[in-house]
């Protein structure tokens, strides 16, 4: 029965694709574009969407020219080596990511993964596995998928590295967006456990999330994995820059 439902869903999505083709429009502003397979975004978005300029060498947030790391990374020791975020979480990028997370626009994962892959590959980092920020099973059931996992699976194909589960969300945490960094960290404490500990022990891992704001979530994940001597790189589609850094 389960397989039949899955088949019907797949068939439904295929029919929707035929009626409303998604691979002819900019993934951010939805304008028509000429060669989607080459670049899935328009020229206007190419200029505005990317996270450019002087950025913190640890968390990728934009900082004042001449600085190396942001004030936040200076005052909070991070449990990850570096977080890679190719896009700015604003305007059409934000809309696009929200539809990926909440409106079943799963197809966007492929394009996002390619953007992340191109952004990271210049740094020539090496790692053993790709993993993802876990989502509570109730949330996965509501959404139909965990966006970070879908993204990690696409990155696994591009990097040719296995994607494995390493963390499990055991309690649902409240909305993080209105909380301070310390409150976010506290909120996440004890909400996750490590799985596949034997496999990941001592390995270098690329941890995938969708959007990064204070880095509290990826930092907590990295902290848990570091108990098993893992070294963590992190990545997300976009960086929601902290206002405090913009002022300075």
- Contact residue for Zn ion among 40, 51, 55, 56 (CB under 5 A): 56
Question: What is the nearest approach in angstroms of Zn ion to the Cβ of residue 169?
Answer: 25
Residue 164: name the closest of 118, 143, 195 by CA.
195
Task: Tell me which residues in 70-99 interact with Zn ion (CB under 5 A).
Answer: 70, 73
Question: What is the nearest approach in angstroms of Zn ion to the Cβ of residue 63?
Answer: 7
Site track for Zn ion across 18-47, x = CB under 5 A: --------x-xx-x----------x--x--
150, 108 Cβ separation under 8 angstroms = no
Which of residues 26 and 120 has its CB atom nearest to Zn ion in the complex?
26
Q: How many residues bind Zn ion (CB under 5 A)?
A: 11
Which of residues 173 and 213 has its CB atom nearest to Zn ion in the complex?
213
How far apart CA 212 and CA 77 sit, in angstroms, is 17
Which of residues 42 and 155 has its CB atom nearest to Zn ion in the complex?
42
147, 178 Cβ separation under 8 angstroms = no
Dump the DSSP string for 28-85: TT--B-S-TTT-SS-HHHHHHSB--SSB-TTT--B--TT-SS-HHHHHS--SSSEEE-
Residue with tokens 């994940």: 221
Using CB under 5 A, which of the segments 49-57, 107-115, 117-125, 196-204 binds Zn ion?
A: 49-57
| Angle made by CA atoms 1, 18, 49, in degrees to the nearest 5 | 105
222 binds Zn ion (CB under 5 A): no
Q: Name the residues that contact Zn ion, by CB under 5 A.
A: 26, 28-29, 31, 42, 45, 56, 58-59, 70, 73
């Amino acid at each position: 029965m389960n397989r039949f439902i899955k088949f019907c869903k797949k068939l439904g999505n295929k029919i929707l694709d035929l009626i409303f083709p998604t691979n002819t429009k900019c993934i951010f502003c939805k304008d028509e574009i000429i060669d989607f397979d080459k670049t899935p975004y328009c020229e206007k978005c190419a200029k505005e969407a990317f996270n450019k300029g002087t950025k913190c060498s640890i968390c990728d947030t934009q900082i004042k020219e001449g600085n190396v790391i942001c004030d936040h990374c200076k005052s909070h020791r991070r449990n990850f080596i570096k977080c890679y975020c190719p896009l700015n979480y604003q305007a059409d990028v934000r809309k696009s990511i929200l539809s990926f997370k909440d409106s079943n626009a799963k197809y966007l994962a492929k394009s996002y993964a390619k953007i992340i892959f191109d952004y990271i590959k210049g740094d020539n980092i090496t790692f053993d596995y790709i993993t993802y920020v876990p989502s509570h099973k109730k949330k996965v059931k509501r959404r139909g998928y965990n966006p970070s996992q879908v993204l990690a699976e696409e990155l696994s194909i591009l990097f040719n590295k296995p994607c494995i589960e390493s963390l499990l969300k055991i309690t649902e945490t409240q909305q993080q967006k209105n909380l301070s960094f310390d409150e976010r960290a506290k909120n996440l404490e004890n909400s996750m456990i490590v799985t596949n500990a034997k496999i990941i022990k001592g390995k270098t891992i690329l941890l995938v999330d969708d959007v990064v704001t204070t880095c509290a979530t990826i930092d907590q994940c990295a902290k848990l994995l570091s108990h098993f001597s893992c070294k963590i790189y992190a990545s997300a589609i976009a960086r929601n820059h902290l206002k405090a850094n913009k002022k300075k």
